[in-house]
Chains A and B, each alone.
Chain A
Amino acid sequence: MRLCAVDLACHRGGRDIFTGLNFAVASGEVLAVTGRNGAGKSSLLRTIVGLIRVGRGKLTLEGGDPELTIAEQAHYLGHQDALKPSLSVAENLRFWAGFLGSEPADIAAALVTVGLDGLADLPSAYLSAGQRRRLSIARLVAVKRPIWLLDEPTSSLDDAAQNRLMALLRSHVAEGGMVVAATHGPIGLGGPKELRLDDMALPSSATAAAEPAVP
């Protein structure tokens, strides 16, 4: 499976967020999208899942399920955690597992993976920011999807939780999944491909060449 972008551009509010973007990620690879604030990291992820319309260029998935769109084969972990404070930890996860997945999910196992077992019956309102983030990540474990699109996945996670996330990403990649992660710091995975979005937002560099696609 290979996710390719050719000459991809994104326009928001009459402004080019990025243009002329080329990259490719294959199964078993991690692409780290880096760049300063406002460089368009989040917009790129949202473009891939179809929440923002592709301005120009092409976005294709080779070797995926032809019946499904890219978004339907991808997990998107945005800035917000998509949790309801009045529902319990398990209820939140069970909802997303039921909504996103077609087969019954192992809620308890997913909670163990993110280290939230024992809090299953707790209302999510009581969780700290880091715990909410982990509950949000549990969704990726509960429902199997090959493509993970992560927007600042380590935000509000402590060291232990970051290590656990890295282990999770490694095992996902090892099982043939792919990860595209927007991050401003080092992602901590050994030698991932990097896509730098810096300078892309400047109008004068609209034709600037992006990181060349790695075949």
Chain B
Amino acid sequence: MVRPTRGYRVFQVVNGFVLAGVVVVTLFPFVNIVARSFSGEHEIRSGQVTLWPKGFNLTTYQNVMSDPLFWINYRNTVVYTVVATAISLVLTTCYAYVLSKHRLRGRALLVGVAVFTMFFNGGLIPNYVLVSSLELRNTLWAIVLPNAINVFNLLVMKAFFESLPTELEEAASVDGLGTYGILARIVLPLSKAVLATMLLFYAVQFWNSWFAGFLYMDRQELFPVTVYLRNLIAGATSGTDITASSETALQVAASIQAVTIVLTMLPIMLVYPFIQRYFVSGVMLGAVKG
């Protein structure tokens, strides 16, 4: 075994400290918001809560969780995220797989179509008119379809597929597998890392998204929970307008805000540990190989 040099050990120590610092900075807001969610309103307002709850109570949790609208919106978010992620994953995989085949005619055009949308789009109002005239408004499809393919994710996946050795597919083809057979039985089983990553990317994206829900949904019981949350937090601070009657200038209790944030971020945070092992090998690893 090679003994690490002195310089390397110094680096390791410094690195450890720097990364520990990053961990603290990253974790602090989470810990703080969790502490707030268990604290009394007065303690939060007077700035006493940092890492540990003061004036511990669970009534705020009871209050928030007893609001039926919160759960309706929560369920919507789960449904939207699951359906949208499934659709996105299927579409992105198919598109990326096709694009990874150099023998495909018109491949540059197909890449162009995708990349074009990265830089140009019709804008807010034309999009709204489009979704509206397709009668997708107030349906699940308004949220899951318009952003089904994320071009960045598509390109990452394409690069990953390109990095797979072509010999594998040729061998499968010799053994009698067709295009779909190769994709389903050879390529996809080898692509678990990138699929898991895409799953995470899409799930987080759809879980956090609020704008599509806000824009295309006209009824409260259709909103995702992010819209509920946003109204609770942003609505409270933007109401301070001189012409607004003073009731709108009131802030929603800080503890309620904290509880809602905690409940909203919890499930999506729990997804990470399950997918993390695929991250270790790394999605970009595939992108640079070969």
* Chains A and B come from one and the same complex: no
Interface of B toward A, CB cutoff 8 Å = none
Residues of A participating in the B interface, judged by any CB pair closer than 8 Å:
none
